[in-house]
Structure formats: structure tokens, C-alpha cells
Amino acid sequence: MLRALLEVFRQSLTLLMGAVIVQAVMSWVNPYHALSPILDALTRPYLRPFRRFQVGGVDLSPLIVLLIIQVLLLVVSTLDVTFLTQLKVSI
């Protein structure tokens, strides 16, 4: 059950990472696309705390969120490997 929860969390992080990337690219290419409000609604809660980080008028919040997601994915992978190791030791 723990592995299933870790996999659901990993897939959720991957989905969020994809939404942030697509939303960032669309904001540069075509900010008035029909999907923009949907992606904005999905990513806004995660990007809002980091909106104040700007360099030369460029919003760095997607980059910061992507870095945090990568760290969380690394932690989840480590937990998964540790769980599998403990499972093999106990068998």
C-alpha cells in the first residue's frame, strides 16, 4: 500500500511538472489560448508563493517550483528504494 501511495504522489508531481512547463511556455507563446485559464487555475496555488522572485521583470516562480518538484521526486524515489530494501530484508 505504501508503494502505491508513493506512486500516486510521484505521478501527481509529474503531472504538476508538466502543467507548469506547458503553462510557462504558453505564457510566452500564446497567453490568450483557450487552455491558459485551466492551466493557470491548476498551477496558481503552487506558483503564488514564489511570484515575488523576479529578475529583470522575468517571473522565476515556474523555475523554483520545478526545482522543488525535482527534489521531491528524488525524495520519493529514495523512499521507494528504502522500502523495497526493507521488504527484501524482512522476507
Q: How far apart are CA 48 and CA 89, in angstroms?
A: 44
At 17-63, the pLDDT tens digits run: 999 999 999 988 998 999 899 999 999 999 999 988 888 888 899 99
For residues 76 and 6, is the Cβ–Cβ distance under 8 A? yes
For residues 43 and 20, is the Cβ–Cβ distance under 8 A? yes
Pairing of strands 58-59, 54-55: antiparallel
Q: What was the pLDDT predicted at 13?
A: 96
Q: What is the pTM of this model?
A: 0.83
